[in-house]
Amino acid sequence: MQAPRMRVAVWGNSRAGRNFAQRLEWAGHTVESLEDPAQLDRFDALIIAATARELEAAVGDVAKHVRPRQIVIHTSLLAGVEALDDLETRGCVTIAAAPLGDSYAVGTLDEVAETVIGLLLSEISQSAETVPEEQRAERAARLYYAEMLGALSVWAAIKAGIIENFMGSAFDLDAGDIIDSYPAAVELGMARNYRDVARMVGEQEKIEELELWAVRKEAPWQNNS
């Protein structure tokens, strides 16, 4: 069963959210960047492309403009569907759907939302995975570390002439969520490697926030734990 074609608005600029929106567009949905939340009445669904630290403000931006039965999806792995409670109480179908590589970490509150995200993920050849709230930070730290290593590996292969360019999926490197996952990396015993890789990725990918954070964390006078 194919999900109905929808008009999808995107609010925010996280890479995970933008990548998800692009995949939906490739699947045939109409996707537009939302310039003014007051325009939300024209859309069937909303993707909140925000990191966990940006999510509360983003929800506040759109809360007065959503309508009952409107689908709202956020894409930060560090936050569950409860982050959208203010929109759920306004009658929205709320969903958390964060990329995990070949699957998405999904959180829903009812069968309608579960069915909606299942159909959308099937359209982009992804599957749904349930990640308990207490495991989100650890999964995020491991995922972002692997993705950062992947980005560096691709860059090194291009520089070495092994490949000419990278034709795969874009890496979902959101500086805010990478930084906020660091405490879990510390608990996993990978703090130093996490910082080192973040610094190199920030420099290579021109993600200034990430590079500066890693440099500060590496400074000898800092408490790096």
On whether both 118 and 11 belong to a single domain, the answer is yes
203 occurs within a structural domain:
yes
Query: ∠ CA 221-223-224 to the nearest 5 degrees?
Result: 110
- 111: domain CATH number? 3.40.50.720
Q: Is 211 helix (H, G, I), strand (E, B) or coil?
A: helix
Tell me how far apart the alpha carbons of residues 34 and 53 are, in angstroms, rounded to a whole number.
Answer: 20
Tell me how far apart the alpha carbons of residues 204 and 201 are, in angstroms, rounded to a whole number.
Answer: 5
218 sits in which H/E element: helix 208-218
99 occurs within a structural domain:
yes
Residue finishing a domain among 64, 96, 130: 130
Is there a contact between 186 and 206 (Cβ–Cβ < 8 Å)? no
On whether both 106 and 46 belong to a single domain, the answer is yes
Query: ∠ CA 33-147-218 to the nearest 5 degrees?
Result: 105
223 occurs within a structural domain:
no
On whether both 94 and 149 belong to a single domain, the answer is no
Can you name the residues that pair with 99 across neighbouring β-strands? 104
Domain span including residue 58: 5-130
43 occurs within a structural domain:
yes
Residue finishing a domain among 97, 130, 163: 130
**What are the pLDDT digits (tens) for 178-224?**
999 999 999 999 999 999 999 999 998 888 999 999 999 876 545 55
Backbone φ and ψ for 94, nearest 5 degrees, come out as: -100, 140
On whether both 122 and 145 belong to a single domain, the answer is no
Q: What is the pLDDT of residue 3?
A: 58
On whether both 18 and 112 belong to a single domain, the answer is yes
On whether both 70 and 176 belong to a single domain, the answer is no
> Is pLDDT above 80 for 170?
no
On whether both 121 and 147 belong to a single domain, the answer is no
Please give the mean pLDDT across all residues of the chain.
90
**What are the pLDDT digits (tens) for 173-189?**
899 999 999 999 999 99
On whether both 112 and 208 belong to a single domain, the answer is no
Q: How many CB atoms lie within 10 A of CB 13?
A: 13
On whether both 39 and 123 belong to a single domain, the answer is yes
**What are the pLDDT digits (tens) for 18-77?**
999 999 999 999 999 999 999 999 999 999 999 999 999 999 999 999 999 999 999 999
Q: How many CB atoms lie within 10 A of CB 1?
A: 6
77 occurs within a structural domain:
yes
Number of domains the chain is built from: 2
Q: What is the pLDDT of residue 155?
A: 80
222 occurs within a structural domain:
no
